[in-house]
A and B are shown apart, each in its own frame.
Chain A
C-alpha cells in the first residue's frame, strides 16, 4: 500500500565564517565612457555571484547591467574576497562592491553637485544620469536659492539643469585630472566565541527557511518518493530572484539525495563508492515539483538588504522528508539516509 504524509522543517543559518574575521575587498573603476569595471576576488562557481555583484554595482552607480563588467577571482588583479563558502559572498562581497562603487561614485557626484549647484547629498544616480533629488521634500526657499546659484554659475535653472549624464560628469572629472576609482572592503560585525561558554556574536546576520514536503511511502517495499516540496526562504532581499529560485531548487535536490539515497561507503578507510554507479545522485526523475517562496525581511547591514541563500537551500530538506515519512507511516528514522531497507525494517517491527 502507498501512504502519503507531510512533513515540515525549519532552519537558520549564520552568514559568513563563525566568529572569525572574514573580510572581502573590491575595486570599482568608472571608465571614460561611463561603463564600469568591477574587480573582485569572489569566485563564481555557478551560483551567480558575478551577476549579483554586477547588479549591486549597477544599482549603486545608476547604470545599466550591461554597462558593468566584472573581473573576478584572479589573484593577479583582483583583491581578496575570501572563500565562496558560508553563504557569504552576496552579503560580504556585495557590501564590498557597493562600498567601492560608492567611493567611485562620490567623485562624479561631487562634479555633478558642482555643475548643478546643489549639495552632494541632493544627487541621485539612475539611468546613467546624476539627477537632483526631487524637490518635494525641500523648502521653497531652498529651491529659489538653488536657482540663484545656478544662474550665478551660468547655468539655466529648471528641468534641463536638474540632471547631468554620468559620461559628462566623468569628462568633467578627467578635465580636472580626477579618476573615478573606488575601493571597498567589508568585514561582518562579529566577535569570537568564548572557549568555555561559546558566548559571543558569531554572525552579523542569519538566513531562515521553512520547507514542507509531501512524500509517498510504499509499505510493501519501504521506498520513499518525494511528491512535492514547498520551500520558503528569508534571503533578506533577492538581488536576482531567478537565481535565488535556482539555489533553492538545486539545494532541495541535494537535500533529497542526502535524505534518501546518498552515502559514501568507507571500508577500512577505502572509499567503496567512488563512481556515480555506486554513489547515486538524484536525476531529473527523482526531483519533484518545487514551489519556491522568496521571503524578504531585509537585513540592515546587507547590500540592499540581502543576506544569503546558497547553503540554507538544502538544510531543512532531509529533516522535512524524515518528518513526512513519520507522518505517512508512523516510522521515525533517526539515521540518514532513509533507505527503503530501514523503513521496511521499522514497519515490520511495528507489525
Chain B
C-alpha cells in the first residue's frame, strides 16, 4: 500500500503560486468595463410585516442605475438549502423575520452612490413581537415566526430501552451544557460579479457550492438552469459560511435588470451581521455505566437555535443527534434534537456542523464519569470506544476503518513526549 507514486506525497499545491504572487482572482478582484455596484437595503426590525417600500427618491438620484424590490423578482423569491423559507427580497405584505432581511437592491455607478441611494429608500413596517430565546420560542404562547409554529424539526434516536438500562447503571452522570453562537470569520468577505453573455447569466462568486447557487439563481430569475453559469472565484475561506447564497441571486437580478456587469462586495460588518452562524445549543446529557465504566445507557436533549431561517439547521441538529453519544458503543440510546426558529440571525453550517457542540458535552461527560469511577480519561474512552463490529446509536454496524482506538493511543503516546501525562 505504500508504493503510491503520488498519493501520500505532499506535492506542491496547484493554486499556491498564484496565491503567493497575489495574482489569484478573488471575486472582488474581477473588473469589467462599464461595471456597476450593487448594495442591499436590509431590515432594521427583527419581526414584522413589510407595509411599503418607496424607492422614488433613490431612483431619482443621479448615478443610480436600478432599484429593485420584491415585486421585481420574476421567479420564486425564495432561497434555502433544505427549506426554501428565506426571501430573496421581502415583498410588501410579507414577513420580516430578522434584522438584516433584504428588502431592496440598488445598482449604481459607484459604491458610494449606491450607499447613498439606500438611505433614500423609505420603508414602512408593521412591527410584531419578536422572540430571541429558543426555549421561549418553543412555548405555545410564543410569537409565531411561522404559521406552522417555531419548532422546525425534531430528530429522534431510539435504541434499546434507556429507562431499564439506567436502572441497572452503577454510575450516572447528568449535566446541562450550553454553547455560544459563533462566526466563521473567513478573511475574505462575500463578493461576486455578474454579467450577461447573450442570454446567459454568468456569476463569479466566492462559494462552497456553485451548482446549488446556479439552481437558486435560475429559480429566482425564472430562467433555465442551462442559462445560468456560476464560476467559483478563488475563495478566501468558507468553513460552511459560504454554502448559503449571499450575493448570488441579488447579482443575477441586477445584471438582468441593468444588462450591465455588476459587482457586490460585503463589508466586514455586513458579512458578520448577515451570514449564517454556528448554532448555539442548549443540551442536557445523561450517561450511565456499569461499575467497570462500560456505558449502558445514554439520553440527551438538544435545542438548537436556528434563527429566522432554516439554512442547514435541520441537517445540523440531525447530525448532532447522531453524534451526541460520542465515538462510543452504547446499547441503549434516547435522543431528541429540536431545530427551533427565533428572530435571531440564522444559524447554518459551520465547520463541524453541530458536532463541536455535542463533543464539548459528551467529552465532559466522559471525564466526569471517569472521575466518579476512579479511572483515567484514557481508560474510560478505551473501554467504550467503537471498534469494528460495534453498533452505533443509529443501529449501524461499523465494519472497517474504525480508528478511534488508534487515535487514543497515538495521541497519548504523542502527549507523553512533551507533557507530564500520568495516564
Q: Within 8 Å by CB, do A and B touch in the complex?
A: yes
Write the residues of chain A forming the contact surface with B, with a CB cutoff of 8 angstroms: 6-14, 17-20, 41, 43-46, 48, 50-51, 54-56, 58-59, 62, 64-65, 70, 72-76, 80-86, 126-127, 193, 195-203, 205-206, 208-212, 214, 228, 230-234, 236-243, 251, 254-255, 257-258, 262-264, 266, 268-271, 273-276, 279, 281, 291, 293, 295-300, 302, 304-305, 307, 310-311, 314-320, 322-323, 326, 332, 334-337
Complex partner residue of B242 from A45, A70, A270, A320, CB under 8 angstroms: A45
Write the chain B residue with the least CB distance to A48. B13
B79-97: contact bitstring with A at CB < 8 Å (1 yes, 0 no)?
0000000000000000000
Task: Report the Cα distance A315→B350, complex, angstroms.
Answer: 11
Q: Does B175 sit at the interface, judged by CB under 8 A? A: yes
Complex partner residue of A318 from B176, B228, B359, B420, CB under 8 angstroms: B359
- The smallest C-beta distance from A313 to any residue of chain B, in angstroms, reads 8
Q: Does B313 sit at the interface, judged by CB under 8 A? A: no
Q: Does B23 sit at the interface, judged by CB under 8 A? A: no
Chain B residues with CB below 8 A from A318, complex form? 356, 359-360
Chain A residues with CB below 8 A from B363, complex form? 8-11, 316, 319-320, 322-323
Task: Report the Cα distance A32→B367, complex, angstroms.
Answer: 60
- The smallest C-beta distance from A103 to any residue of chain B, in angstroms, reads 19
Q: Does B185 sit at the interface, judged by CB under 8 A? A: yes
Chain B residues with CB below 8 A from A326, complex form? 367
Contact B272 A271, beta carbon cutoff 8 Å: yes
Contact A202 B183, beta carbon cutoff 8 Å: no
- The smallest C-beta distance from B141 to any residue of chain A, in angstroms, reads 19
Contact A55 B377, beta carbon cutoff 8 Å: no
Contact B403 A295, beta carbon cutoff 8 Å: yes
Given A297-B401, A336-B179, the answer on whether A319 and B359 have CB atoms closer than 8 Å is yes
Contact A43 B11, beta carbon cutoff 8 Å: no
* 7 interchain residue pairs of minimum CB distance: A234-B403, A269-B46, A198-B157, A319-B363, A297-B403, A73-B232, A242-B10
Chain A residues with CB below 8 A from B360, complex form? 318-319, 322, 336
Name 18 interchain pairs, CB-CB below 8 A, sorted by A: A43-B235, A51-B15, A75-B229, A83-B209, A85-B243, A199-B157, A199-B159, A206-B402, A211-B411, A230-B411, A231-B411, A233-B407, A264-B181, A271-B345, A319-B360, A323-B367, A326-B367, A336-B178
Task: Report the Cα distance A44→B353, complex, angstroms.
Answer: 19
Q: Does B262 sit at the interface, judged by CB under 8 A? A: no
Write the chain A residue with the least CB distance to B132. A269
- The smallest C-beta distance from B80 to any residue of chain A, in angstroms, reads 14
Contact A316 B359, beta carbon cutoff 8 Å: yes
Number of interface residues of B (CB under 8 A): 120
- Looking at B102-110, B163-171, B391-399, the stretch in contact with chain A turns out to be B391-399
With a 10 A CB-CB cut-off, give which of B47, B206, B272, B396 has the most chain A CB atoms: B396
Write the chain A residue with the least CB distance to B316. A18
Complex partner residue of B10 from A12, A59, A241, A273, CB under 8 angstroms: A241
With a 10 A CB-CB cut-off, give which of A58, A75, A233, A276 has the most chain B CB atoms: A75
Contact A82 B211, beta carbon cutoff 8 Å: yes
Task: Report the Cα distance A67→B138, complex, angstroms.
Answer: 57
Complex partner residue of A254 from B46, B229, B239, CB under 8 angstroms: B239
Contact A43 B209, beta carbon cutoff 8 Å: yes
Complex partner residue of A81 from B5, B211, B326, CB under 8 angstroms: B211
Task: Report the Cα distance A118→B368, complex, angstroms.
Answer: 64
Contact A12 B323, beta carbon cutoff 8 Å: yes
Task: Report the Cα distance A295→B401, complex, angstroms.
Answer: 10
Contact A255 B159, beta carbon cutoff 8 Å: no
Write the chain A residue with the least CB distance to B272. A274
Contact B407 A264, beta carbon cutoff 8 Å: no
- The smallest C-beta distance from B147 to any residue of chain A, in angstroms, reads 20
Task: Report the Cα distance A151→B385, complex, angstroms.
Answer: 60
Contact B5 A126, beta carbon cutoff 8 Å: yes
Contact A266 B181, beta carbon cutoff 8 Å: yes
Contact B345 A311, beta carbon cutoff 8 Å: no
Task: Report the Cα distance A65→B8, complex, angstroms.
Answer: 12
Task: Report the Cα distance A203→B230, complex, angstroms.
Answer: 29
Complex partner residue of A334 from B155, B178, B381, B386, CB under 8 angstroms: B178
- The smallest C-beta distance from A316 to any residue of chain B, in angstroms, reads 6
Contact A243 B356, beta carbon cutoff 8 Å: no
Known interface pairs A6-B420, A65-B11, A291-B417; 12 further A-B residue pairs with C-beta atoms within 8 A, sorted by A's residue number: A10-B327, A43-B210, A46-B236, A193-B318, A198-B335, A202-B322, A202-B394, A233-B407, A239-B7, A264-B183, A304-B7, A323-B367
Chain B residues with CB below 8 A from A209, complex form? 407
Complex partner residue of A14 from B177, B211, B322, B399, CB under 8 angstroms: B322
Task: Report the Cα distance A230→B210, complex, angstroms.
Answer: 36
Task: Report the Cα distance A307→B321, complex, angstroms.
Answer: 21
Task: Report the Cα distance A231→B345, complex, angstroms.
Answer: 33
Chain B residues with CB below 8 A from A8, complex form? 363, 367, 377-378, 381, 411-412
With a 10 A CB-CB cut-off, give which of B210, B231, B322 has the most chain A CB atoms: B210
Task: Report the Cα distance A254→B278, complex, angstroms.
Answer: 12
Write the chain A residue with the least CB distance to B158. A197
Task: Report the Cα distance A300→B13, complex, angstroms.
Answer: 26
Chain B residues with CB below 8 A from A271, complex form? 99-100, 272-273, 345
Contact B414 A291, beta carbon cutoff 8 Å: yes
Complex partner residue of B412 from A212, A242, A322, CB under 8 angstroms: A212
